[in-house]
Amino acid sequence: MLVLDYPILLDLGIKTLIFAFVLLACLKLKITTVPVFILVGLILSPVIIREGALLGIAETGIVLLFFLLGLEYPLSKMIKIAKKIWFGGVLDFAINLIIPMLVAYFFSLSWPAAFLLGGVTYASSSSITLKMLEDKKRFANPESDYMIALLIFEDIVAPIAVTLITVLYVQGDFTLITGVGVFARVIALIAFSLILAKFLFARFADQFDHRLNEQFVLLFGASMALIFSGLALLLGLSELLGAFLAGVMLSELEHPEKFDKVILPVRNITLPFFFVWFGAGIELGAGILSIPLLVFLLVWAIVGKIIVGIIGGKAFGLSKKAAMRGGFSLVQRGEFSVVIAALAAAELRSFSGIYIVLTAFIGMLFFAKASSWTNYIT
């Protein structure tokens, strides 16, 4: 790695300028930024310097991503969505996490590594999917409600999955006893956040909202995200679960959108650093862990989501055509797969990075062709 001795502010300024022009190019080409920023990190990896500073900003971006995600889902909304989408959500989890995990174990990966890889293959990219629904003007289509509900189900499962993978793969000491302990700590942290949400923030929402100004909102929201991230780490859990629960807690206020308004710009600045940092850690020179496994996972990335789209969509109440169109539109993996892959050791991380980039672009192609292919098949 080439290390140059110049001020950190100059280094960060150059990177941010590069990110700005990458974003502009993506907007012009009408493609999503997630896989592109990963490729930028891969390209820039020989000249990336001051990894400590880059990592600090990257972690801030991903914590704020999960905090704002939690802000969108108050408890009542999560319960309502779960009642409607539970069949499709459970089917999605079984087909797109459990089956790839079992296949990865068959390819001689350890159970922790196989579980991590299953997490990488699980969730469709919310950012890519929502962006393409907007670009293709498909929000009015009947399958869009099912797709969005499924994405929300995955969004809610993701923080817990990251926590379990962190303990099982990173800490490497997962037994029945430690498993029970992890679940107990997860439940305790969730219960603590919900108690604060219902008996503090919901009860005093009127008085609290009247005293909000932008600077206070930014400082208070960021402090809650960081405090709960720290509490999660203190309990041996993932900081992303803590950030998500902090968002859920503040969602009980009357005007949680005030937090979204001031924190979203900070997240938009810092999040590209996370994807670039992840891309810089992909080592293509190490080779691919297993080409047959990669081929299977790429094929299953398509087949698995189509099955979830058709079967889960019909259970949701969609017509056969709308359900198939939804399945074709869920192939892309993105931000949550990157979050999980970032926990992996070098070889598995590089393998996962290749998978994520390929499925992102394959998914965008399938999304663009979903309507025409569905009409041809049916």
CA distance 372 to 198: 47
pLDDT at residue 1 in the model: 44
What value, to the nearest 5°, has the Cα angle with vertex 284 and ends 154 and 3? 105
Asked if 259 and 324 touch (Cβ cutoff 8 Å), the reply is no
pLDDT at residue 5 in the model: 62
The dihedral over CA atoms of 96, 99, 103, 108, expressed in degrees to the nearest 10, equals 90
pLDDT at residue 50 in the model: 47
DSSP 219-239: HHHHHHHHHHHHHHHHTTS-H
Calculate the alpha carbon distances from 130 to 104, 148, 234, 262 in Å: 30, 8, 34, 21
pLDDT in tens, the chain (378 residues): 444 566 778 878 888 899 999 999 988 888 888 889 999 988 887 766 545 677 788 888 888 988 988 888 777 777 777 778 899 999 999 999 999 999 999 998 998 899 999 999 999 998 889 888 888 888 888 899 899 889 888 888 888 888 888 877 766 666 666 667 777 888 888 888 888 877 777 666 666 656 667 788 888 888 989 999 999 888 888 888 889 889 988 887 777 788 888 888 998 899 888 888 888 888 776 667 889 999 999 999 999 999 999 999 999 999 999 999 999 999 999 888 998 998 888 889 999 999 999 999 999 999 999 999 999 987
Q: What is the pTM of this model?
A: 0.83
Q: Name which of 175, 192, 184 is nearest 231 in CA terms.
A: 192
83 residue type, one letter: K
Residue carrying structure tokens 């579980």? 115
Calculate the alpha carbon distances from 21 to 18, 24, 132, 225 in Å: 5, 5, 21, 29
Asked if 101 and 116 touch (Cβ cutoff 8 Å), the reply is no
The dihedral over CA atoms of 279, 282, 284, 286, expressed in degrees to the nearest 10, equals 170
- CATH fold group of domain 8-377: Na+/H+ antiporter like fold (1.20.1530)
CA distance 19 to 38: 11
Q: Where are the domains of the chain?
A: 8-377
